Structure 1
C-alpha cells in the first residue's frame, strides 16, 4: 500500500449477538463476518471490547477475554484486515457499559478518581501490550465517545473541568503508548466537543492530543433536520468536521481520521443511503491530510435484540445475514477506485474565520454547530462551489500560519442583518 494511500474500513458490529458476542465468543462467526468485509475490499476494522466484560473488577483484566481479542485480530490479519481497538466501552448505540466498580455503591468519577484512572490505564496498557507484536494492529482508541459521561445531556454525568479532561486523556494515551510504543493511538469524542459551549472535552484536545484527530460525523445532530437529506450541509458534514479540526491543529499536516460516519434513517432514507455515502466520502476525500474513512457500521443489528433506537438497526454496510447493502456497494466502489493511489487533493486556499472566544476553552463553540452562524456560513460557501478551510480568529492575520497551510484568502462570517 502506498504510504499516502487512503484507508477504508468499517466499525465492526458482529452479526450474531452484536457486541454481546464477547459473552459467547465464536471465532467461526467472527471469521465469517470478516470474510464479508474483506469481500467489500476494505482494509481495516475498528473493534470494541466491552469494558465490563474485559475488566469486571478493577484488578481483574480477564486473560481469556484478552486472548479472544488477539484471536479476532489474528483472524483479521488472515483476511488482509488491519485492526484498531477501542478500549473503554463506555457507550455504544445508546447503551452504557460501565463496570460495577465505578457505579452505584462504588460510584467514583470515571475521570478524576485516582483508583479508577489507574485501573483504566492498566486496562488500556494491557490490551495494547497484548497486540503490540501483531503487524496488523494499528493502535488503540482510548474509548468510544466517552466524553458523553462528563456533561449534559447524559442523565448521570461525572462532571469535570477542561483541565481534568486533558489530564485524563494524556494519562490514557500514555498508557496505550506504554503498551504498544509507536502505534496509531488516538482518542475520540462525539460532537459536543466541537459544538457544545462549556463542554469539558475541547476541540483543542481533539486536534492536538494523540497521533491523529478522530472525528465522528452524524447528521442526526440537527444538520439533516435543518438542511434535508440531500442538502450541502448534510452531505458535507464530514468534510466540515475535518476542516474545522484543522483550524486547531498545531501541525498543519496532522492526519484526520473520519472514524465514524453513517447514514441514519429516517433522516437519510434507504433509497438515498448509497447517494449519501458517495457524497459524504467524496467530500471527505476533498480534504487534505485525511487518513481514512471507517464507516458505521459493518453489519446491521439483529431485530431479535430489543430496545435499540430505531435508526441503529439499519446502519450496516451489510445485512444481519451478511448480504451487501447499497451503502456497502457504494463504499466498495470507492475503495476499489482508490486502492493503491496516493491521496493528494488540492490545497484549500480560501479560509473562513471562526471566532469561538479563544482556541483553548472555545467558550462560544456553539457558533460551529448546526444552525450556528459559522456552520451556516461554511455550508453556504460550499454550496457556492468554494472549498473553504477554517482558520481561528487569533491566527487569521498570522502570515506564517496561513503560509504553512497554503491559505491565500481569508473570509469573514457575514454580520447578521
Structure 2
C-alpha cells in the first residue's frame, strides 16, 4: 500500500452544489486554490444528477463540459478528482430526476428503463473523464443505499439480490466508460448497522475497487458516549476495521471517504481536537487508502432549510479562510508525506456475526460495538473477523491476527 492520501469533499463556497446551474469557473478555481493551499491531493466532486440528466435520454453536454473544466482546474493545482455520479442525496436533500418520481414513479434499483438510464449516465461521465490523468474514478453515488429502506420517507424497496444486480450493472458501466480506473460504491453506515438494509457489508467490502466507509458520530455514538470518548474519537477507525471482516481480500484497501466534526455534538471549540484524534486513529489502520474530509467550504447562511450542523462543517469559511480543523488536516497530510505511515497489524480480532439481520450488534449500543471500544480503551488495537472465519488459520495469518475473542469474552 502507498501512503494514505488526504483530500476533501468539495462543497463550492458560492451556491453550494447548485453552482452547476450557473457555473462560474473563476469561483471554482478560487475554491480549488484554497483547497490546494492545505497540501491536500484530491477532491471528491458531486454533479447533481437531475441537473446533468434531466430526461432519461438527455445527458446535457454543457453540464459535462463544466465537470471537465472543474477536473482540469483541479489538475492545474495538483489535485486528483473522484466523481460521484448519482446525486442522489446530499446534506439532507434528495436530488432525483423527474423521470423517476411522482407521475413517472419507478424504482431506482429494479425498473429496467431507470437502470439503463443510470448506466448510460455513469458511462457517459466516466468516458468523458477517462483521458484525464488526474481522474481517480467514479463513485456510483453518495450514500445511495438511503433510498432503499427506512428511515427514508419514500423508499425504493429492493431485495439484497436486486441491489447486488444493480451494483454489478452500475460498476460495469463505469468500467466500460473508463477502464482500469478506481470505481467504487459508497453507503452510509446503515449498511453496517441496520438489520433490514438491503445494501450489505459483504457488498461494500467485495464490490468495487476499494471499500468506502462514511463515519458520522451523530449516529448515536456521540449521544451515547460523548464527544470526548474512545468510541467517538475512534469511530472512523472502527468502521475501517469493521469492514475488513467481510472482505475477501485480506489486504483490500479501505477509503475513509467521509468524516466530519458535526456540531453541536462536536462543538466548534472542540472540532480541531476531534479532527486530530479521528485522523490519528484512522491512520493506525493498516491498508487505509486515504481520508477525505467532509467538507471543503461552509454552506452559506444565505441558503435556507439545511440542518443546522451542515452550515459549519467546512474546513474553510465561505470567504475561503482556513479554520483550525483545516490546519490540523494539513499538518497530518504533511506528516504522512514526510514519512511512511505503516501501522502494525491489528493482532486481536473481535468476532462479528455473519448474518446481515444481526448487524445492529455492530451499531452503537450493540454487543460488538461496545466490546470493540472496551478493547480499544485497553490498548488492544482490535480488528474484526466473521464468525465463519474465526477458525480459518490461513485467513487469520494473512491478516496478522493472533488472537480471536467474542464480545461476551470482553469485560
Q: Which aligned pairs between 1:38-187 and structure 2 lie closer than 5 A? A: 38-187=36-185
Equivalent residues of 2:88, 2:96 under 8 A apart? yes
1:314-350 CA distances to partner (integer Å, 9 max, x unpaired)? 0000011100011111001101111154332100111
C-alpha deviation, 1:137, in angstroms: 0.2
Equivalent residues of 1:4, 1:341 under 8 A apart? no
SS in 1 for 2:357: coil
Residue 378 of structure 1: aligned partner: 372
RMSD: 1.1
Residue 29 of structure 1: aligned partner: 27
Residue 336 of structure 1: aligned partner: 334
Unaligned segments of structure 1, at least 5 residues: none
CA distance, structure 1, for counterparts of residue 371 and residue 346 of structure 2: 16
The one of 4, 8, 11 equivalent to 1:10 is: 8
SS in 2 for 1:348: coil
SS in 1 for 2:96: coil
Residue 316 of structure 1: aligned partner: 314
SS in 2 for 1:80: coil
Residue 413 of structure 1: aligned partner: 407
CA distance, structure 2, for counterparts of residue 267 and residue 109 of structure 1: 35
2:363 corresponds to 1:369: yes
CA distance, structure 1, for counterparts of residue 192 and residue 82 of structure 2: 23
CA distance, structure 1, for counterparts of residue 155 and residue 100 of structure 2: 12
Equivalent residues of 2:354, 2:388 under 8 A apart? no
The one of 271, 291, 294 equivalent to 1:293 is: 291
SS in 2 for 1:68: helix
1:358-399 CA distances to partner (integer Å, 9 max, x unpaired)? xxxx11010000000110000111011110010111100111
C-alpha deviation, 1:354, in angstroms: 1.2
TM-score normalised by structure 1 residue count = 0.97
2:226 corresponds to 1:228: yes
CA distance, structure 2, for counterparts of residue 189 and residue 161 of structure 1: 16
2:348 corresponds to 1:350: yes
Equivalent residues of 2:350, 2:406 under 8 A apart? yes
CA distance, structure 1, for counterparts of residue 277 and residue 314 of structure 2: 17
SS in 1 for 2:349: strand
2:392 corresponds to 1:398: yes
Large movers: runs of 4+ above 4 Å: none
The one of 268, 279, 282 equivalent to 2:280 is: 282
SS in 2 for 1:168: helix
Residue 325 of structure 1: aligned partner: 323
C-alpha deviation, 1:356, in angstroms: 4.2
C-alpha deviation, 1:6, in angstroms: 1.5
CA distance, structure 1, for counterparts of residue 9 and residue 59 of structure 2: 24
Equivalent residues of 2:374, 2:410 under 8 A apart? no
CA distance, structure 1, for counterparts of residue 85 and residue 341 of structure 2: 29
Residue 307 of structure 1: aligned partner: 305
C-alpha deviation, 1:415, in angstroms: 6.3
C-alpha deviation, 1:47, in angstroms: 0.1
CA distance, structure 1, for counterparts of residue 254 and residue 115 of structure 2: 27
Equivalent residues of 1:177, 1:183 under 8 A apart? yes
Residue 201 of structure 2: aligned partner: 203
CA distance, structure 2, for counterparts of residue 55 and residue 407 of structure 1: 47
CA distance, structure 2, for counterparts of residue 145 and residue 52 of structure 1: 16
Residue 253 of structure 2: aligned partner: 255
1:256-295 CA distances to partner (integer Å, 9 max, x unpaired)? 0000000000000011111100100111100000000000
Equivalent residues of 2:375, 2:410 under 8 A apart? no
CA distance, structure 2, for counterparts of residue 328 and residue 416 of structure 1: 37
